[in-house]
Amino acid sequence: MAGSSFGTILKVTTFGESHGPAVGAVLDGFPAGMELSSSDIQVYLDRRRPGKTKIATPRNEADSVEILSGVFDGKTTGTPIGLLIRNTSQHSGDYDNLRDCYRPGHADFGYDAKYGFRDYRGGGRSSGRETTGRVAAGAIAAKFLKELGVRIIGYTSAIGPVKVSSLPGDEGFDEEAVLTTATAMPDSAKDAEARAYLETCMKEKDSSGGEITVVIRGVPAGIGDPVFDKLDARLSAALMSIGAVKAVEIGDGKSVSGTVGSKNNDPFRIAPDGKVITSSNHAGGILGGISTGMDIILRASVKPTPSIFREQETVTREGTDTSLTIKGRHDPVIVPRAAVVAETMCALTILDSMLLNMSAKTENILKFYGRI
Amino acid sequence: MAGSSFGTILKVTTFGESHGPAVGAVLDGFPAGMELSSSDIQVYLDRRRPGKTKIATPRNEADSVEILSGVFDGKTTGTPIGLLIRNTSQHSGDYDNLRDCYRPGHADFGYDAKYGFRDYRGGGRSSGRETTGRVAAGAIAAKFLKELGVRIIGYTSAIGPVKVSSLPGDEGFDEEAVLTTATAMPDSAKDAEARAYLETCMKEKDSSGGEITVVIRGVPAGIGDPVFDKLDARLSAALMSIGAVKAVEIGDGKSVSGTVGSKNNDPFRIAPDGKVITSSNHAGGILGGISTGMDIILRASVKPTPSIFREQETVTREGTDTSLTIKGRHDPVIVPRAAVVAETMCALTILDSMLLNMSAKTENILKFYGRI
Amino acid sequence: MAGSSFGTILKVTTFGESHGPAVGAVLDGFPAGMELSSSDIQVYLDRRRPGKTKIATPRNEADSVEILSGVFDGKTTGTPIGLLIRNTSQHSGDYDNLRDCYRPGHADFGYDAKYGFRDYRGGGRSSGRETTGRVAAGAIAAKFLKELGVRIIGYTSAIGPVKVSSLPGDEGFDEEAVLTTATAMPDSAKDAEARAYLETCMKEKDSSGGEITVVIRGVPAGIGDPVFDKLDARLSAALMSIGAVKAVEIGDGKSVSGTVGSKNNDPFRIAPDGKVITSSNHAGGILGGISTGMDIILRASVKPTPSIFREQETVTREGTDTSLTIKGRHDPVIVPRAAVVAETMCALTILDSMLLNMSAKTENILKFYGRI
Amino acid sequence: MAGSSFGTILKVTTFGESHGPAVGAVLDGFPAGMELSSSDIQVYLDRRRPGKTKIATPRNEADSVEILSGVFDGKTTGTPIGLLIRNTSQHSGDYDNLRDCYRPGHADFGYDAKYGFRDYRGGGRSSGRETTGRVAAGAIAAKFLKELGVRIIGYTSAIGPVKVSSLPGDEGFDEEAVLTTATAMPDSAKDAEARAYLETCMKEKDSSGGEITVVIRGVPAGIGDPVFDKLDARLSAALMSIGAVKAVEIGDGKSVSGTVGSKNNDPFRIAPDGKVITSSNHAGGILGGISTGMDIILRASVKPTPSIFREQETVTREGTDTSLTIKGRHDPVIVPRAAVVAETMCALTILDSMLLNMSAKTENILKFYGRI
């Protein structure tokens, strides 16, 4: 339980360091019978892959995934799916000056305090590269969710001051653009604006924060559990477990503190098709930890990349003040590549909760086992 | 795993409904040898207790706790601590009109969708009354944390438009006031302002949102785990698991999306006593999921109480539109009573992480077992 | 995780000491909609209850259970079921001479080594009284298993040299006798023989070992998981977690080491009704950790009650050799009262595994969510 | 939670099928700072490796392990240790005749019932080859246990009628022989006898059962937890999770059912060095689920290899009776290669329990964090 496993029935365990031989994951509890090939996963990895654009680290890795187990005759077998991605483009020499001091805004000091030493090459386990395994595993969950009628879209909703407020389905929200723009923004004008802003940041040897929005559509009402495993609690942990995320919101999020009940409550109504809906969705699709059937809307605020090329004040492992200039290859903003990480973490969480939900009613269990 | 357990080494399991015979908790994994009496717990329960002020539900319960197990000769034994709080002031009749329809903003519809029926009296398991068990268990963790030099303070930092921005230790921050004001605000002027605002809300048959801040002082550097069990991920889940919380922030929180790395990074410095510190604390005491030794600063945004006395649109269980006027006894704002819930949830999380941390280094294990 | 929780989806957590105020359990994850009253549970508790016969401890407790939560309108709600049994017949004074020394064959020394001190009254948490909570929770699982067509029968198959080798359904196996004889043996002649043997033991201030057999009938093929959560691995842990159990066997058990494959393999055959069966059942209903649909047959060997009234050699907490004569009220053999503990532990394990099994196939999940 | 993870703080997750690309494991929670190279692991894998002797399957694999992560500068980093072993000698064609029918004594039918289809090549996930990952991970635990003064020896104590009753340290017990004889027996005369017996079995196209004994020396008193996580319950699950194990015993094991308390109780005594010991060890080193400091002695009864070359009765997937002659490469007895699996499973269990034990006393926690 050193923290590299996630999930209850559907459980992912990741491994790997930025500059070790490989990163990867084991996905256990995935049900049997779904068609799966490495190309299903590769599509997601390519969205996370570095080196594609001017605003991403030039570390250029194919990040091609090998399925080591759990698939037979092109279908999942119900047994653990082992996923391996070799590291191929390490420039470990870039990190030699970090051996004896801590990068501000990074996990270096905490790891040293905890473990007594650390793999200082590219952050080791604390590197964003760790998320490769999650994306690979989450891609598999996302594929099955699609078959279950659940669609998850994660995108960049802000980079510094440049913000997108429209939601999927709204006019002006270009879903295609999420996959094609360098910023993963659903709006090519905003994308251009954000890229211009990032150019400025880079010129000033600085980096930018941003925001990821994830919209989950098609989750039936009744998913999630009471008390500690509320669906929003699990999704919060899922998103906050992504390095650099400093806030997680659901629905109206932070703004609820300033509002009143008569405005924040979503009235229930019967839709023309007889389904229960709410006529607004301030709640973001979850009430009391249980899904309502409305869109689940999450936002994660992401801090600026801590690796900037300015000289920064820091300390040495021996306990003296010093200054540091970071080398290496770093994204000026993490959000465009982190959006798919957020999306796949939500996929893992939602699928796990949907599997758990199958045993909520005695009636369904009796039916499953042919007793009624 | 229907969601009523929390923690890894230190694990709390709660039970109980708003209008059933009792609520309570079992705290397993608490170490042996700490002095404990029910009065240690009662102090915390009293902070959560209803009926004390004009701005809390008049449901008046003593909420006195009985320790059922795990304590012998006044000390914890290392075995599960059973905690029981009898419900004594149920007015179940107030809920008769909810039998067949769903309260907007509440978990009613989700529970029905999940379980096929529900205890409609006061929200059953989804009631805020469920948190009584958490507070009782968390009070025990908080007591031990004090012995470990860790102090947690949870307070109301906003009610509607009335906000407190000072932090514990800042001038004007009155820690005493947190325990004595009706709002649990650390500032009696703000408390008066907030109470006036709440009076208006109540007159308008409305309710208010607000914000809880939790500051955790004295956590050593190195606590927390990489990847999924990052300390901030666990704390987020802990806070988001409290009903009505819709956003969780750490350090600069949501505002990081608009800032740049050179401003957001906290420079490391050596303090006069030789300790590593950061000269600012935008990170809120956690980097890469691991504590830095600086104050951990969390904020939870709480939605307005969904139970308001205005007529609201909703639907019946049979699928027709209707309207509903809620009866019963309800807080115009949840924050003052929820602050201690947030505080105790953080206590459970931090202590668990500190226990897990003991086995992070082989050196410490070899020392513990007398090998070096 | 100090060991008082058991299960994955269906999770029981027990609490309580022999001479504290109460024992009990919280059963979380039990599905919603089953009719449940305390009398369903009481039947099982009465089988475990002391004081009924000459061969059980004369500690006479009603052991009446109170359901604290999780039931509404006579049906389970899907939320945690809190179960409370008050201790009423403590004779704590009987244990004063144990304050400073360790009873041979008991957990006293280990608890002291682990926790630094212990509740010496009746063994505290290590007392057989702890199993009351398990039985209460397991009774609920057993009730639902009956609705699922699964029947579990736990009985005494040996007391000292007196053995019963017939299985339920065999001629001479009297199921009624299990519930009515003092020994819980399914054969009144053997019961008489065993009681005579126990009289001798008691006269000699000695105690007897014995064996419990549990037969689980009606578990469909396909239950259990590969590798670490093999159904037999989980059942073994369930049985070995009962104090005094020193061996667990499945099917032919220990004797398989001396046999050959051609005798041990069970040939598969098609039954007249088209079902796959095996024409023998050496495997005891589980192959590769997965149920075959045949009867699951388990045996647990139980050591003699360590509390005997002879003077015994032991040591003091201060580290000197001494001798000890145990007082108090003790069963000359544990097996008759432990059989129902074994039975209910198996019920918890089997039901949990059956719930987990619902998500094994994508096809079933797609059906459940109405996609195919 | 499809069963491929094991442990609480120290957690191993395995993956891989007999005829897929690879098998392996991820070991999470292993503490930082221990020297580790692949050769530490290889020694253990070589003991499990097939193809070495006439009485093992001629499937000849190097089984060389690659460490994918968690080690830096030759030392463990505290992060997950990824372990990869490529499959290189699959003869999948040998299994073509199993596509449509079930091998008696194997998991084939259960997997099909559970998952709807199965990887029929060599048993897929249910193959003994799955244990490669456990052995690799357990070897790392065993290395650290040695540094902690704990030594585990697993060996063959019976093959069919040929039995070894001496224990490590007894006269005639040749520890060297465990590693050098084909049978892993600690006695070369018995080894010869057993090999002769196996020759007979093989001539008769049959296979033999046997027994593994594991002795764990040097575990301090106080390890293990009350109730469900009793050390013997966890060890039982660990051993029973090895395919083909049908009984697990601790100490006097199955024979306790026939004995009396005055003979079974182990008297406590003070050893010349002041340590508390027991003058006999019927309990096998564990009382009430907690270690006593005496040798922990476990026995696992292993059924005969189900793959025998005689024609056997079985059924087809379509539901008709048929007969089957198994091809491929199979061990006439599993025990010699399974002994190291049992040993390493015990290593994982004991180390995990020792890590958990560090937080049992408040006093130790206060010391660890420098408060007393």
Asked whether the predicted pLDDT for residue A314 surpasses 90, the reply is yes
Under an 8 A CB cutoff, do A362 and C147 touch? yes
B220 and chain D in contact, CB less than 8 A? yes
The answer to whether A65 contacts chain D (CB < 8 Å) is no
**How far is C310 from chain D, CA to nearest CA, in Å?**
8
Query: Is the confidence at residue B49, as pLDDT, over 90?
Result: no
| Residues 6 or more apart in contact with residue A222 via CB below 8 angstroms | A290, A291, A357, A360, B110, B112, B113, B114, B115
How far apart CA A175 and CA A153 sit, in angstroms, is 8
| Residue among A1, A78, A115 whose CB faces D11 most closely | A1
The pLDDT value recorded for residue D97 is 81
Dihedral, B27, B30, B32, B38 alpha carbons, nearest 10: -50
Are the C-beta atoms of C28 and B5 separated by less than 8 Å? yes
Using CB atoms, which residue from C4, C105, C206 is nearest to D226? C4
Chain C residue numbers touching B8 (CB-CB < 8 A): 1
The overall average pLDDT reported for chain A is 94
Q: What is the pLDDT of residues A211-257, one digit of tens each?
A: 999 999 999 999 999 999 999 999 999 999 999 999 999 999 999 99
pLDDT at A360: 97
Distance from first CA to last CA of chain A, Å, rounded? 41
Cα separations in angstroms, A179 against A153, A187, A295, A305: 10, 11, 21, 22
Q: Are D129 and D90 in contact (CB under 8 A)?
A: no
| Cβ of residue D124 closer than 8 Å to a chain A Cβ | yes
Query: Min CA distance, B73 vs chain A (Å)?
Result: 32
pLDDT in tens, D233-262: 999 999 999 999 999 999 999 999 999 999
- The predicted pLDDT at position B62 comes to 81
| Closest CA of chain C from B270, distance in Å | 38
A14 reaches D (C-beta below 8 A): yes
All residues of chain D having their beta carbon less than 8 Å from the beta carbon of residue C206 are 260-262
Q: What is the mean pLDDT of chain D?
A: 94
Q: Is the pLDDT reported for residue D94 higher than 80?
A: no
pLDDT tens-digit readout, B151-204: 999 999 999 999 999 999 999 999 999 999 999 999 999 999 999 999 999 999
Choose, out of A4, A257, A292, the residue to mutate when testing the contact with B (most B CBs < 10 Å).
A257
Give the span between the Cα atoms of B44 and B152, in whole angstroms: 12
Does an H or E element contain D340, and which?
A: helix D335-357
How much is the pLDDT for A112?
A: 95
pLDDT at C59: 65
Give C26 to chain D, closest Cα distance, Å.
Answer: 14
Our CA-based measurement puts residue B148 at a distance from the nearest CA of chain D, in whole angstroms, of: 6
Residues with Cβ < 8 Å from D36, sequence gap 6 or more? D67, D71, D74, D75, D76, D81, D140, D143
Amino acid at C214: V
Q: How far is C230 from chain A (nearest CA, A)?
A: 13
Using a CB-CB distance cutoff of 8 angstroms, which residues of chain D are in contact with residue C130? 226-227
Please tell me if residue B26 touches chain D, with a CB cutoff of 8 Å: no
What's the whole-number mean pLDDT along residues D334-340? Answer: 96
- pLDDT value for A56: 72
**Quick one: average pLDDT of A91-106?**
84
Q: Which burial class, exposed, middle or buried, applies to B327 when counting CB atoms under 10 A from its CB (0-12, 13-18, 19+)?
A: middle
Q: How close C163 gets to chain D, by Cα (Å)?
A: 10
Which of D5, D36, D358 to mutate against chain B (most B CBs within 10 Å)? D358
Judged on CB neighbours under 10 Å (0-12, 13-18, 19+), D54 is: exposed
Token digits for D15? 């993956």
Q: In this structure, are strands A81-86 and A22-28 parallel, antiparallel, or unpaired?
A: antiparallel
- State the pairing for strand pair B162-163/B151-159: antiparallel
Query: How large is the average pLDDT for residues B93-105?
Result: 86
If you count them, how many residues does chain B have? 372
Say what the pLDDT of residue D92 is: 67
Contact present, B197 and B204 (Cβ < 8 Å): no
Any chains having at least 3 CB pairs less than 8 A from chain A are B, C, D
Does the pLDDT at position B33 exceed 60?
yes
With an 8 Å Cβ cutoff, is A331 touching chain B?
Answer: no
CB B30 within 8 Å of CB B78: yes
Say which of B33, B220, B364 has its CB closest to residue D362.
B33
More confident call, A243 vs D55: A243
Query: Is there a contact between B2 and C79 if contact means CB atoms under 8 Å apart?
Result: yes
Q: Which residues contact D305 (CB under 8 A, 6 or more apart)?
A: C261, D207, D208, D244, D330, D331, D332, D333, D334
Neighbours of chain D (3+ CB pairs under 8 A): A, B, C
Locate B156 and state its tokens: 């109301």
Mean pLDDT of D51-78: 85
Mean pLDDT across chain B, nearest whole number?
94
- CB within 8 Å of D297: residues ≥ 6 apart: D167, D213, D214, D215, D216, D250, D251, D281, D284, D285
**Measured in Å, how far apart are chain D's first and last C-alpha atoms?**
41
Task: Kindly tell me if the per-residue pLDDT of D76 is higher than 80.
Answer: yes
Q: What is the mean pLDDT of each run of 10 residues along chain C (372 residues)?
A: 90 95 97 98 90 70 92 96 91 77 95 92 88 97 98 98 96 95 97 97 97 98 97 98 97 98 98 97 98 98 96 95 87 94 98 98 97 94
The pLDDT, as a whole number, for residue B346 is 98
| C276 contact A CB<8A | no
Q: What distance in Å separates the CA atoms of residue B197 and residue B304, rounded to the nearest whole number?
A: 13
Nearest Cα residue in chain D from A126 = D79
Q: Do the chains contact at B261 and A304, CB–CB below 8 Å?
A: yes
CB contact under 8 A, B5 and C17: no
* A13: its two tokens: 């365990």
- Specify whether the CB–CB gap between C120 and C66 falls below 8 A: no
Verify whether the Cβ–Cβ distance A109 to B305 is below 8 Å.
no
B362/D76 touch (CB, cutoff 8 Å), yes or no: yes
Residue D322 Cα to chain centre, angstroms: 34
What is the reported pLDDT for C120?
86
Using the Cβ of A5 and the Cβ atoms of chain B, whether some distance falls under 8 Å is answered with yes
* pLDDT tens digits for range D194-207: 999 999 999 999 99
CB-nearest to D9 from A1, A20, A72 is A1
Q: Does the pLDDT at position B91 exceed 80?
A: no
Please state whether beta strands A5-6 and A11-16 pair in parallel, antiparallel, or not at all (unpaired).
Answer: antiparallel
* Per-residue confidence (pLDDT) for residue A188, from 0 to 100: 96
Q: Is D288 on the interface with B (CB under 8 A)?
A: no
Q: What is the 3-state secondary structure (H, E, C) of B46-114?
A: HHHCCCCCCCCCCCCCCCCEEECCCEECCEECCCCEEEEEECCCCCHHHHHHHCCECCCCCCHHHHHHH
* β D151-159/D210-217 pair status: antiparallel
pLDDT tens, D272-316?
999 999 999 999 999 999 999 999 999 999 999 999 999 999 999
B247 shares contact with chain A (CB less than 8 Å): yes
Lowest mean pLDDT, pick from B245-254, B340-349, D117-126, D170-179? D117-126
Instruction: Establish if B5 touches chain D: CB-CB under 8 angstroms.
Output: no
Interface contact flag, C125 B9, Cβ < 8 Å: no
Q: How many CB pairs under 8 A join A and D?
A: 177
In the predicted structure, residue A1 carries a pLDDT above the cut 60: no
Smallest Cβ distance to A31: which of C76, C148, C362? Answer: C362
Residue contact D149–B369, C-beta within 8 A:
yes
